[in-house]
Amino acid sequence: MTLGVPSVMPQKTAKIGDLLRSGMPKFSFEMFPPRDEQADAVLWRTIRALEGQNADYVSVTYGAGGSTRQKTVETTERINSETTLLTMAHCTAVNHSIAELRNLIGHFANVGVRNILAVRGDPPGDPRADWVKHPDGVLHARELVELIKESGDFSVGVAAFPEGHPRDADWDTGVRHFVEKCRAGADFAITQIFYDVDDYLRLRDAVAAAGCDIPIVPGIMPVTNIKQIERFAVLTGMSFPEALAERLRAVADDRDAIRDIGVEVATDMGSRLLAEGAPGLHFTTLNHSRSTRRVWQNLRP
């Protein structure tokens, strides 16, 4: 990549924004870079299982404050070079200057990544802490979208928040900010995980009413661990239905029963979302795919 010159992809790969407008639901899976050899083995068992079942694409997350920057690039490159899967890399603005972001985007281009999820990101250490702009960085996600789009022929996704963004003053402000990201050049969006389908439909309809027709993919995570999902809800502000929590607590000592409930609920959600016209589903796997693959099999035509 030459500084100041838009990147040219080493090969033409599919754009997720185009795939999501094809009329057929697309199923995708979120991974995170492994921290050690054992985690690497777990990730690659999952990758191979998804490849064998023809997942539409996989995404690789980016640690808070860029803590997994190199591993994100390496993991994405390996998936690109060693599998047939389409990849999407996450890119966050936390603690990065514009120069560092350009360098990262160039790295993605060099390893064949054409699809990037642009998110402002959470402050490292405490997602609820005040967000501090890097002195030479960007303040808003829409600026990151603009930076990526001007850097090459990328398909750019953004985050969506069915229950509203925790930092927005109110619902309408959140919708306005989301639409601004889309008009900055985003091709599609993926939501934070949620457990009330009506929240997704409310967001989708509000965005459409604002004149934005971007595909919004619901983020789904089948529950496999009660404490894990409760902690996630605290960190993100996500609502977790009390009725579901009671069902899970009633079988708290039975891991298989918890997984079965998680698969049942996620399947029901996915079925309704697809019936309502969602362009696909994006599964948070935490690098384990057994439950998500069960849901996927339940929903595939």
Question: What separation in angstroms does the CA of 229 have from each of 8, 16, 220, 244, 264?
Answer: 41, 28, 12, 11, 16
Q: Name the nearest CA neighbour of 46 among 35, 27, 30.
A: 30
Torsion of CA 270, 274, 278, 280, to 10 degrees: 70
First vs last C-alpha separation in the chain: 42
Strands 26-31 and 57-60, by their bridges, are: parallel
Specify whether 77 is catalytic.
no
Name residue 28's beta-bridge partners.
Answer: 57, 282
Residue 255 CA to residue 224 CA, distance in Å, equals: 7
Calpha distance 110→131 (Å, rounded) = 30
**With the C-alpha atoms ordered 53, 58, 64, 67, is the resulting torsion angle positive or negative?**
positive
Nearest to 12 by CA among 105, 113, 100: 113
Strand, coil or helix: 27: strand
Residue 71 and residue 62 in contact, taking contact as beta carbons nearer than 8 Å: no
How many angstroms separate the CA atoms of 121 and 22, rounded?
A: 29
Q: 30, 143, 146, 163: which is the annotated catalytic residue?
A: 30
Catalytic residues, by residue number, are: 30
